[in-house]
Structure 1
Amino acid sequence: MSAAAEEGPRRAKPAAAAADKGDLFHVVHKVPAGDSPYVRAKHLQLVDKDPAASIVWFWKAINAGDRVDSALKDMAVVMKQLDRAEEAVEAIKSFRHLCSKQAQESLDNVLIDLYKKCGRTEEQIELLKHKLKMIYMGEAFNGRTTKTARSHGKKFQVSIKQETSRILGNLGWAYMQQKNYVAAEVVYCKAQEIEPDANKACNLSLCLVRQRRYEEARAILDDARGTWLPGSDDPKILKRVEELLHEIDSLSPPFLSLPSEEDLIGRVELLTTEWSSSPVSRSRRRLPIFEEISTFRDHQIAC
């Protein structure tokens, strides 16, 4: 083999190393490879930390038909972060028809968060009811029993049961914003039947507190402090439980213990003994109201 032939593999190594380095960059920063409008938008969002500029390129991606499903959803999320939630709502409503059928459910989830951010509770409730109807009709998760979700960069599987409980929890909270505590109670109870957790238990307890049903609320909080409910060992949940218990103590009337029948009879006997042993006259032993009655009766007889 000639020296020239031996040089070939050696020259290829720097290119391969550069490729590996580029792949590592995309993995670390979670940005796709390439130079399309969507890729530029994600680079501005995640690497350059310039959300306003990324929105411009997300718009370009949507107009160019470049990964429209992801571009519209990501743009709405960035808009929410910049307190442009109302604008994000209109963007989703105006351009979701360009997205695939598989993306619609994910867009609904983003829209629910936006409605919550904007305080548009009625629309939030209607959309949550729509999602529950889709689950009932078997149309959620695109017909599958589970879906892959992502949180804090990690993927995990969500079942229909978990999703139903989550949506009911959000619906209960939306009703609470309307001060419709009866409806919120019903929804939270159903959510707890499907998949109980300590956070929803706290919200259910709060519904009962607002209805002045303090002892029922306290009983639910005792469960939330137990070890059997998911999330009961979370320090934030424990702190919230203690705050709710403190609120119940401050709002509920003090419990007045009534004397037993034996104790009551003993007090009456003691009182009558004191009266009979008193040196004052019989008329002076009477209570004032009896004195007034007697005086009134004597006056009538005299007349």
Structure 2
Amino acid sequence: MKSPRKAGEISPDPPPYHVLHKLPPGDSPYVRAKHVQLVQKDPEAAIVLFWKAINAGDRVDSALKDMAIVMKQQDRAEEAIEAIMSFRDRCSKQAQESLDNVLIDLYKKCGRMEEQIELLKRKLRMIYQGEAFNGKLTKTARSHGRKFQVTIKQETSRILGNLGWAYMQQGNHAAAEVVYHKAQIIDPDANKACNLCLCLMKQARYAEAQSVLDEVLQGKLSGSDEEKSKKRAGELLQELKQCQPVVLLSNNSLSSNIEDAFLEGLDQLVKHWTPLRSRRLPIFEEISPFRDQLAC
């Protein structure tokens, strides 16, 4: 509860308009686009103004990224992909990683799994080459207006989690399983554990799935206490109770070959991951030759 203002006390000046509405200062095309987006809440008009900002060369890095995000929200994801591919060469080197992150979400929304997988692998190669985070070990990220630090280790696990989900969408459960296992070794959390559980269930390996899910139900993993994780774990548990063990015939030699090839590359990642080592990580270098098989 605020204490009453004393007589004669001067009230503090209100924050500037752009600060109050979280807008950049000035009156440029990009600033006008942000005003229409955030204050007037007119996404279609904002997209037009973001185009003008890009064509005028005004804060192109931010204008292209913001326009693509608004397009995605307006179910214009395919247009957003075309815009990024057409204009990203006008953006700075520092902006490329953020644009890749937006592209990954756009590919996912459009169901373009092959392109999403290739881009995720490219991001992993950037980590291996020391190019991620513009050469730094951490980066500042923002979520719902809150800033926080993300480490290379966390980013690698996040990318692997996304890669596992992309393989799941393709029905490539053998590849997805390996990816999720390695992601959990690097930076375990409840969300990836639930995905791994689902992956094992798809392969009718219910006992292993139960073992993975138990770690979430027992609160052993980061995020286990979040309401979303609890709800999903409960749903998976109910599905597991309805499943009956079945005997699987190992008559698909290709699946074994895929898993072995995939495992070889991912094992290098885990083997070389220690806090004191260089950020140059040997990631997926052994997997690239098997791209066509892994996409099946």
**Alignment partner, residue 214 of structure 2:** 222
Are positions 1:64 and 2:56 aligned together?
A: yes
* Distance (Å, rounded) in 1 between the aligned partners of 2:67 and 2:201: 40
CA displacement 1:164-215 (0-9 Å, x = unmatched): 0000000000000001000000000010000000110000010100000000
Alignment of 1:212 onto 2:221: no
The aligned residue for residue 115 of structure 1 is: 107
1:159-238 paired onto structure 2 within 5 Å: 159-238=151-230
SS of residue in 1 equivalent to 2:134: helix
Q: Equivalents in 1 of 2:82, 2:134: separation in Å?
A: 25
Q: Distance in 2 between matches of 1:110 and 1:145?
A: 21
Are 2:132 and 1:136 aligned?
no
4+ residue segments displaced more than 3 Å? none
1:26: Cα distance to partner?
A: 1.3
Q: Aligned equivalents of 2:134 and 2:69: distance in 1?
A: 23
Q: Greater relative contact order (Cα 8 A, min sep 6): structure 1 or 2?
A: 2
**Whole-Å Cα distance in 1 between the matches of residues 16 and 154 of structure 2?**
35
Equivalent-residue separation in structure 2 for 1:121 and 1:208 (angstroms): 21
Distance in 2, matches of 1:63 and 1:103, equals: 17
Counterpart CA distance in 2 for 1:141 and 1:115 is 22
* Residue 253 of structure 1, CA deviation: 4.1
Distance in 2 (alpha carbons) for counterparts of 1:35 and 1:56: 16
1:90 has 2:82 as partner: yes
Amino acid in the other structure paired with 1:203: N
Say which SS state the counterpart of residue 16 (structure 2) adopts: helix
- 1:203-282 mapped onto 2 (5 Å cutoff): 203-253=195-245
Structure 2 gap ranges (5+): 1-11, 247-296
- Tell me how far apart the structure 2 counterparts of residues 242 and 33 of structure 1 sit (CA, whole Å): 48
- 1:41 corresponds to 2:24: no
**TM-score normalised to the size of structure 2?**
0.78
Given candidates 84, 93, 96, the residue that maps to 1:101 is: 93
Cα separation, 2, equivalents of 1:235 and 1:62: 41
CA distance in 2, matches of 1:149, 1:24: 25
| Same amino acid, percent of matched pairs | 74
Instruction: Provide the rounded CA distance (Å) in 2 between the counterparts of 1:250 and 1:74.
Output: 45
Which position in structure 2 is the counterpart of 1:125?
Answer: 117
- Which residue of structure 1 lines up, in the alignment, with residue 18 of structure 2? 26
Q: 1:227 deviation in Å? A: 2.4
Structure 2 residue aligned with 1:145, among 118, 122, 137?
Answer: 137
Inter-partner Cα distance in structure 1 for 2:83 and 2:115: 16
C-alpha distance after superposition, 1:117-159 (max 9, x if no partner): 1110100000000000100111100100000100001111100
AA aligned opposite 2:106: L
RMSD: 1.3
8 Å CA contact 2:204, 2:245 repeated in 1: no
Rg larger for: 1
Q: TM-score, normalization: structure 1?
A: 0.76
Tell me the residue number matched to 1:51: 43
Deviation per CA, 1:203-233: give whole Å up to 9, x if none: 0010100000000000111011122210111
The count of corresponding residues between Structure 1 and Structure 2 is: 235
AA in 1 matched with 2:208: E
CA shift, 1:25, in A, is 2.1
CA distance in 2, matches of 1:129, 1:217: 26
Equivalent position of 2:150 in the other structure: 158
- Runs of 5+ consecutive residues of structure 1 not aligned to the other structure: 1-16, 255-303
Amino acid at match of 1:190: K
